[in-house]
Structure 1
C-alpha cells in the first residue's frame, strides 16, 4: 500500500474526481477526510465496500468559509494526528461568455476554485506540515488554465467561461509559488490539469475528441491515478509541476 497510515484531505469528495481519489487513496491504505458541501454517502459506501477496515472522516460545509476550513483541519488533526496529503479538487465552472457572465458567477468560480484552495493550504501547512517536515499538496487545475478554456476539440459548448479559465490559471500560479516557498520544509506542491473528464460539470456537454491522440474523454480514475503519484513519497523530487492528463489533446 503506497499510502499506508497516512492521512489525506480531499475536497469535492462527494462525486467525480474527488470521490474516485478518495476511494483510491483508501485502497492504498490512507485515512481519508472527505470534504464537500453535499453528502459523501455514496463515496463512503464505495470505500467501505472495498476496504472493510477503512478509516475516514466526513466534513460537510462551505469550503469558501475560513471558519469551516479551520474547523475541518482541527477535526482531522484531532482524529488522525499528522496530516500528510491535501488534494484541492472541489470546483465550479461557469460557461457563460464575457458578455453575459455576471459578477456573482465570477466570484463563485474564483472563490471556490482559488480562495478555498488557499485557505486549505494555509490551514494544513501551518503548523501541521511545517512541524512534521513533510507534506504533499495536489491542486486540481485544468487545461483551461493553460489554453484559455478550449477544453477538447474546440467545440463552443465545451469551452469554459473566463472566470473558470482565470481561476484554473491562478491555481497553477499558486502551485508554483507554494512549491518554491515550502520545498525546504519537505513539502511538495504540484498540479494535475485534466482535459475533458466525465463529471457533473461536463454532464450533457458534447466534446469533439477527434484532435486527441486518445479518442475519448477522461474518466475520474484516469485523473485519480495521476493524483496518487503526486501524493506518494516516490514523488519527493517533483514539485511545482503541472501534469496534463488530457488524452493527448495538448502537447508541449
Structure 2
C-alpha cells in the first residue's frame, strides 16, 4: 500500500518494540525496524515489516542518518517510536560512570536526537507526524522493584530512572515546540512488563491493583491509540500502562 503511513521503531528486534511493530503492521502501517541486534532482520521478516536497519542508537550520527534515510526512501515519515533501552540495576553504591552514560545515552539522548531527525525535515515539511517515546514508571517513582536495606534487590537503577524521567520531560518540551506544525509527541510509560529486559527481576506485582506482569501487546495497544486518528488532540501526555502502580 504505497499511501499507507510509515513508521520507524527503535529497539524493535524483540520484546516490547517487536510487539509495537507487529501491532502497527496489523493496523496497516508500513513499519521499519531498527535495533542494535542482528536479529532485527529476522524479526522484520517474521512480522512482514517494510524494512530493517541494524544501528546502535548511541551512535547519534548513524541513528539520525537511519531515521532520515527511512523518510527519504519512502517519501514520508509519519511515526517514530523510540523503544530502544538499557536498564542497569546496580545499587547506588555500586553505580558506575559507564552504566550511567550507557543508560542515559541509550534511553534519553538517542530519543532526543531520533526525534530531531524525524521532525527535521520530514515531519515538519509534511505538516504531520507522531512521536512516541517509551519511558517507564521508573521515571515517575524512582525505580521499580523491591529494594533491600542495603540498596540491592533488583530495582531498576538510578541511571535508568533518571533517563526515563528525562524522557518524559523531553517529550513534553518537544510537544510544545512541534504542535503548531501538526506533530504530536507523547510518552507511554510501562510498569512491570514480561519482556527480555525484565527477565530475572522481581517486581512485587502482588501489591499493585492489577496484580500481574503486563504484556508487551498491552503496551503496543497504547502506542496504537497514540498514533491513531482518535488521538489527534492528545500531545505532551504520559500514558501509564502499569496495572495502576503509579496512580494507586
Class of the TM-score when normalised by the shorter of the 2 chains: over 0.9
Give the Cα separation in 2 of the matches to 1:199 and 1:42.
Answer: 18
Alignment length, in residue pairs? Answer: 243
Q: What TM-score do you get using the length of structure 2 for normalisation?
A: 0.93
Matched residue of 1:94: which SS?
coil
**Structure 1 pair 74/188, CA: closer, same or farther in 2 (3 Å)?**
closer
Given the alignment, which residue of 227, 236, 239 partners 1:240? Answer: 236
Given the alignment, which residue of 68, 74, 91 partners 1:74? Answer: 68
CA contact (8 A) 1:176 1:189 kept: yes
Identify the residue that residue 47 of structure 2 maps to in structure 1. 47
Identify the residue that residue 23 of structure 1 maps to in structure 2. 22
1:79-132 Cα shifts (integer Å, max 9, x gaps): 211100000110000110211011010000000001100110111101111111
Q: Where do residues 29-178 of structure 1 align in structure 2 (5 Å cutoff)? A: 29-39=28-38, 40-48=40-48, 55-149=49-143, 151-152=144-145, 157-178=153-174
State the shift of 1:230 in Å.
0.7
Give the Cα separation in 1 of the matches to 2:41 and 2:59.
Answer: 22
**Structure 1 pair 220/30, CA: closer, same or farther in 2 (3 Å)?**
same
State the shift of 1:70 in Å.
2.6
Matched residue of 1:217: which SS?
coil
State the shift of 1:154 in Å.
6.0
Give the Cα separation in 2 of the matches to 1:153 and 1:245.
Answer: 19
State the shift of 1:179 in Å.
0.6
State the shift of 1:210 in Å.
1.8
Identify the residue that residue 203 of structure 1 maps to in structure 2. 199
Give the Cα separation in 2 of the matches to 1:105 and 1:216.
Answer: 29
Which runs of 5 or more residues in structure 1 are unaligned? 49-54
Identify the residue that residue 219 of structure 1 maps to in structure 2. 215
CA contact (8 A) 2:208 2:243 kept: yes
**Structure 1 pair 116/140, CA: closer, same or farther in 2 (3 Å)?**
same
1:171-225 Cα shifts (integer Å, max 9, x gaps): 0010100011111111100001100111111101123212212121011101010
CA contact (8 A) 2:8 2:31 kept: yes
Which runs of 5 or more residues in structure 2 are unaligned? none
CA contact (8 A) 1:153 1:211 kept: no
Give the Cα separation in 2 of the matches to 1:147 and 1:162.
Answer: 11
CA contact (8 A) 2:138 2:164 kept: yes
Matched residue of 2:176: which SS?
helix
